[in-house]
């Protein structure tokens, strides 16, 4: 990830949950909170309810890769926490990617205007 770091500490996750805004869809829940920096920080949470460690790590990789491929399209200066729902355990990469982009659009952190102007 070129422009982003990872959220690692439990206190950072709790801060985003407590003060941030959230939207959800069938596969994912996304919390965002402005962080007053020039980059984004991404945190991914996959509960044991979703599946065993193989399933959880697969979903983590899918979410991280979906974010990485579209990283330039995201506005900067946010802490982003993505939570995988139980229904995501059978989802394909394209479904996860679509769900992530949908939530970014709902939060208005995806720079659609710039992408359209350059075409």
Number of domains in the chain: 1
Residue 8 exposure: Cα atoms within 13 Å on the Cβ side? 3
User: What is the value of pTM for the model shown?
Assistant: 0.88
What DSSP assignment string belongs to 80-103? EEEEE-GGGGG--HHHHHHHHHHH
pLDDT for 117 equals: 47
Residue 79 falls inside a structural domain? yes
CATH number, residue 104: 3.30.230.10
pLDDT for 2 equals: 72
Residue 117 falls inside a structural domain? no
Q: How do residues 3-25 score in pLDDT, each as one tens digit?
A: 788 999 999 999 999 999 999 99
Q: Could you tell me what percent of the chain has a pLDDT over 70?
A: 92
C-beta of residue 2 within 8 angstroms of C-beta of residue 38: no
Q: Which domain holds residue 49?
A: 4-108
């Amino acid at each position: 990830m070129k422009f982003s770091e990872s959220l690692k500490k439990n206190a950072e996750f709790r801060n985003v949950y407590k003060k941030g805004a959230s939207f959800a869809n069938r596969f994912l829940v996304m919390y965002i909170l402005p962080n007053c920096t020039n980059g984004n920080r991404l945190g991914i949470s996959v509960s044991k309810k979703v599946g065993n460690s193989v399933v959880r790590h697969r979903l983590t990789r899918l979410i991280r890769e979906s974010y990485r491929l579209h990283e330039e399209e995201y506005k900067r200066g946010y802490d982003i926490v993505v939570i995988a729902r139980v229904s995501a355990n059978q989802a394909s990469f394209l479904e996860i990617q679509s769900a992530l982009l949908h939530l970014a659009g709902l939060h208005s952190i995806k720079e659609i205007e710039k992408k359209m102007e350059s075409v």
